[in-house]
């Protein structure tokens, strides 16, 4: 362990010494190479001292946090792009702590201090109402009826939903998908594929396949109630088809 610390310290001292002597335009490029060399030195030190397995354990423990950090960085980058876009289109006379942009259907304001986004609807049945006061269903209606010719309004609505109403928006989308799934009429072929049996399967085969699949996804065991309903629907359709053939 002491060897590893010494090697790392020497590498850092060498990187710092070399970095100070470089011209400004080469510093960033050389710093990346220096950090890579430092990482390789540390890795070799771990291999030599037989501590490489400890590194893997640490990396495995940090993986969930790395994923969260990646998601946060991605969201931050998206927010930064929106901020830059709003700044480019900022209206004159607006406070420097806010950015305002007006499109055909919306007037949006970004508060730089809090990072919040809100806006006023300018046209249609929700005219002069704040987005923050509208239900998620109403905003979804605005988003789904936003024409392609008004891309700015569409982009602002999408950003608002993703940043300010993320959980509500996700829940609404999932609910709509489930509604479409329930309303869609399942064919006999689809029912057979869901249960993993043939169209001409016997009653015993249908029931056994249904029982086996339900055992894995039943809501009481943490499964999905939506998937369970689709399995039940597939079973009923195949049993009905079987009855019509034997009638």
**What is the per-residue pLDDT across 56-108, written as a single tens digit (0 to 9) for each?**
555 555 555 555 545 444 545 555 555 555 555 555 555 567 888 899 999 99
Global pTM value: 0.41
Segment 11-27 shows an average pLDDT of: 69
pLDDT digits (tens, 9 = 90+) for 24-68: 666 677 667 767 776 776 676 666 666 666 555 555 555 555 555
**Residue 73 contacts by C-beta under 8 Å, 6 or more apart in sequence?**
none
How far from 215 is each of 126, 211, 219, 223, 224, CA to CA, in Å? Answer: 47, 6, 10, 9, 12
């Amino acid at each position: 362990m002491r060897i590893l610390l010494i090697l790392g310290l020497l590498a850092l001292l060498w990187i710092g010494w070399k970095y100070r002597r470089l011209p400004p335009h080469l510093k960033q490029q050389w710093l990346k190479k220096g950090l890579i060399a430092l990482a390789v030195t540390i890795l070799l030190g771990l291999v030599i001292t037989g501590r490489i397995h400890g590194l893997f354990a640490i990396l495995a423990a940090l993986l969930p946090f790395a994923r969260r950090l990646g998601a946060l960085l991605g969201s931050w980058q998206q927010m930064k792009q929106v901020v830059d876009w709003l700044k480019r289109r900022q209206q004159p006379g607006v406070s420097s702590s806010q950015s305002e942009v007006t499109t055909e259907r919306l007037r949006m304001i970004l508060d730089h201090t809090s990072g919040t986004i809100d806006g006023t609807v300018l046209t249609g049945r929700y005219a002069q109402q704040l987005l923050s006061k509208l239900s998620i269903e109403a905003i979804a209606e605005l988003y789904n009826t936003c024409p392609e010719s008004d891309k700015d309004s569409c982009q602002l609505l999408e950003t608002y939903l993703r940043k300010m109403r993320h959980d509500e928006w996700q829940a609404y989308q999932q609910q709509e998908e489930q509604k479409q799934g329930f309303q869609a009429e399942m064919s006999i072929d689809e029912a057979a594929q869901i249960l993993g049996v043939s169209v001409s399967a016997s009653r015993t085969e249908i029931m056994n396949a249904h029982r086996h699949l339900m055992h894995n996804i039943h809501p009481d065991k943490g499964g999905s109630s939506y998937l369970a309903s689709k399995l039940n629907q597939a079973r009923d359709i195949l049993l009905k088809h079987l009855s019509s053939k034997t009638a």
